Amino acid sequence: MFDPVLPRLDARRPRHSSLEIWHNIMWSRYKALIFSAMANAAATHQIAMHVFQIAETDHERIGLGSVEAGLHRYPMTLVFKGSYSDTPVWRRIWVLARHALKTKANAVILAGYDRPEYIVQGLILRARGKPWGVFCDSTIFDRQHVWWKDFVKRFILGKARIVFCYGLRSREYVVSLGVDVEQTVIGCQAAALPDTYDAAEVLARRLRAAPAANAPLFLYVGRLAQQKRIDLLIQAFARVSVDLPEARLRLVGAGPMDEVLKVLAENLGVSDKIEYTGALSGEALYSNYLDATALILPSSSEPWGLVVNEALHFGCPVIVSDRCGCVPELANNSACGLVFESGNLAQLTQCLRDAPALWWDHAAVAQACADQISPYTFENAGISILAGAEKM
């Protein structure tokens, strides 16, 4: 099992007495809890922390749920109402640049490095002698590389004091762009669990709800988008259902591929075995992990895959493609995780066939899931970012 070595906050006087954090959209539930945990730790260490949420949401997130404002328990300013994409680029550049020119924060963490507004922000802060870092959740597998874009990324990342990487795959990517490994901090990706989450109760519910080996339930959670390769999952499921006629597939989410996937299932003769729930959240979502044989994440591009965190917290093992950023940390243990080559139908099919027999002991599997995911809390995530900021 991968054992993350998380940065820890030094008990001595902080290097930076004030920290400013920029984030792209307020929609992210898990980031709300991470920033809230950061704020608590910052107050304890006498660091004044303030978060600037650039927008409330973005177009691709609108169908997945609304902004939960009550979760944002930290000093915060919302820069633009509505969707990030609805604000003109020139306006984003103007507002963020103007703030960079006048900020009095000792250190700043930027939302990213791949948009004009972030690049302008970073260059202004560099000219002012302000130490700044940047979040990076990309991996080398995320998208096709273009030489001039890589050049810009190398340039701007080279100006940052610290790059906050979401996992080993993210660190490998920024190092490939010329960033010194000593300038990177691996944070801790954490899922936002309900306030009532109780590990013992989850185990009991899992043991009651988990399906029999001869009637497996395979689960997908996320956007119904091309890069998620749900089409590959449906093809693999169709093959497996020949040997396991009582097998079922449940797709939780919404997106542009909805109708295309339904046509594919119809053509393969498995429409009656596939359930489409639409987007779910809260208990309506979490209960799906409890009665599933495994969560499947077959993406061709996935910076991390927080649904994997969620599944493991609820005792549900995972099957993920090797393009998912969380593979080294969360899916490298066959006791609760299997990995297949992205796009490889035969390998995914075999994983689906193996899962019911491999994970028949639900108590042992749920415990393996709990052990694997235990370090990945939003408290650890918040503290690791704050500790990284102290290195700037």
CA-based radius of gyration for the chain: 21
- Six-digit token string for 224: 């119904």
Tens of pLDDT, residue by residue over 126-160, are 999 999 999 998 898 876 778 888 898 999 999 99
- Six-digit token string for 111: 């939302």
Q: Which residue's structure tokens are 């594919």?
A: 264
Nearest 10 degrees: CA dihedral of 379, 381, 383, 385?
Answer: -160
Q: In the structure, what pLDDT confidence band is assigned to residue 7 with cuts at 50, 70 and 90?
A: low
The mean pLDDT of 314-341, rounded to a whole number, is 96
Distance from C-alpha of 248 to C-alpha of 237, rounded to nearest angstrom: 8
**313 CB-contact burial (10 Å; exposed 0-12 / middle 13-18 / buried 19+):** buried
* pTM of this structure: 0.90
| List of domains in the chain | 18-190+377-389 (3.40.50.2000), 199-373 (3.40.50.2000)
The mean pLDDT of 370-390, rounded to a whole number, is 90
Tens of pLDDT, residue by residue over 66-100, are 677 788 999 999 999 989 999 999 999 999 999 99
